[in-house]
A = this chain, B = another copy of it.
Amino acid sequence: MSAVPHDAAAQAARRPLPETLLAALRTRFGERCSTTEAVRLQHGRDESPFPVTPPDAVVFCESSDEVAAVVRLAGEHRVPVIPYGTGSSLEGHLLAVQGGLSVDVSRLTRILRIDADDLTATVEAGVTREQLNAELRSLGLFFPVDPGANASLGGMAATRASGTNAVRYGTMRENVLALTVVTGRGELVHTGTRARKSAAGYDLTRLFVGSEGTLGVITELTVRLVPLPEAVSAAVCHFPDVASAVRTTIQTIQLGVPIARCELLDVNAVRAVNRQSGLALREAPMLLMEFHGSPAGVKEQAETVQAIAAELGGEDFEWADTPEERSRLWAARHRAYFAGLQQHPGTRSVTTDTCVPISRLAEIVEASVADAEASGLPYYIVGHVGDGNFHLAYLVRDGDAAERATAEAMSERMVRRAIAMEGTCSGEHGIGLHKMAFLEEEAGAGGIALMRAIKQALDPFQILNPGKIFRN
């Protein structure tokens, strides 16, 4: 099946790790270079439905220089290098499909600088978004990109992650100012500056953001921060069907309302989070919204959206004004992924991630719901609908090839629809292993040729996370 290019033949052809390389790594890293099965297995999987595909060794790095040293050694031996943060990829980014070394950066956890006056922070790649936000709270600031999972910022940059706040604050594309990257030759390079904008040369920062470890290993990043808004208000609104909720979102965006979060949950997702988080949300399609601004501004925004929703059959807003209520709701939303899986024990999730021009969102959601209903598989929908991005997750029994094939076929139909609507096969999860065939359709032969040329130029030994984004 073209969408699932996990290649058993490539696996079988893996070379064992050269002994001299392993000896050099052990000399330098001691016990931080591990070949134990448990460690390798843990680093050979992520949240994707692919079979575990372990690396030959895992090196736990503690600095940019150590990462550079590993990449240099790997280059000398032409051995693949796969950066590993928290393992929360949904698309198979971390699987060692050609063997090699997993470079674990989760110990690079230093927050190097917070420049509150400039609204920037510089952190090591293993710092997670929750760690950074905990540090920022007392300063009245926050880092606005929130993919749900407590991912590492390095991983979020590598996959061009976004999430619930992106409709207002942008994605990692907009919020990364500068990077320290280990190149394919094992050299440390700094991209960007701490200035808010620049027209100085090629935009290397944004080339590495979203490159999924295939052009370099991100070891440090400087990100933009945002002052905590004076007023925050969250509300839920229930709708008779998914389409009305989506239409409310479309009109909100078209009117330019600066809504901070606008999340869709279908009835299946609401049911799952109710069970998992002990909530009593009405089991109907709903929008979970958040408004940021001055007290008057928040009120104005909410009134506008309420008026739109009312016209489209939305029920009255239920407000969550205290920080505790809001946290509870957002925590539940962030657990939707695991809540969905728990509803159907023994399943894994085949998750779609299309993003379309906002005017086409209702159409693609409705068509996808019809497909999902017809498939007979359990599924749920959550979506960052303010961006035109939503996830339909099919829950397939682990190891059930027929269910998996059905889900992948449905996913493929949805991606084709999104591309036909001038949208994208991936709004925020990246390509990884899972969407390589889709990227070929979306970018076309010309676009893929340019990407390959860049890959070849920046990864001369072809060791950086090979076999991801496009086949090599």
Chain A residues in the interface with B (C-beta under 8 A)? 115-120, 159-162, 166, 170-171, 173-174, 183, 187-191, 193-204, 206-207, 209-211, 215, 226-227, 229, 250, 253-256, 293-294, 296-297, 300, 353, 355-360, 387-389, 418-419, 422-431, 435, 438-439, 442-444, 446-447, 449-451, 453-454, 456-458, 469-470
Contact = CB atoms under 8 A, between A and B. Distances in A.
Contact of A422 (B194, B300, B443): B194
Number of copies: 2
Nearest to A418: B195
A120 B356 CA distance: 12
Contact of A388 (B196, B388, B430): B196
B203 A355 contact: no
Given A357-B194, A446-B187, A201 B119 contact: no
A190 B425 CA distance: 15
A160 B199 contact: yes
B444 A190 contact: yes
A199 B454 contact: no
A458 B430 CA distance: 24
Contact of A430 (B187, B199, B353): B199
Q: Which 10 A-B pairs have the closest CB atoms?
A: A227-B256, A117-B359, A457-B457, A189-B446, A198-B424, A118-B357, A206-B206, A194-B422, A453-B457, A160-B199
Max chain B CB contacts within 10 Å: which of A159, A171, A195, A207? A195
A194 B423 contact: yes
Nearest to A253: B119
Given A297-B294, A458-B450, A443 B166 contact: no
A205 to B, nearest CB: 9
A68 to B, nearest CB: 11
Contacts of A120: 357
Nearest to A453: B457
A424 B177 CA distance: 12
A211 B206 contact: no
Given A200-B442, A204-B450, A204-B451, 5 more contacts: A118-B357, A187-B446, A189-B450, A204-B447, A454-B457
A197 B162 contact: yes
A195 B422 contact: yes
Given A296-B297, A297-B296, A457-B453, A355 B119 contact: no
A22 to B, nearest CB: 29
Contacts of A159: 199
B201 A451 contact: yes
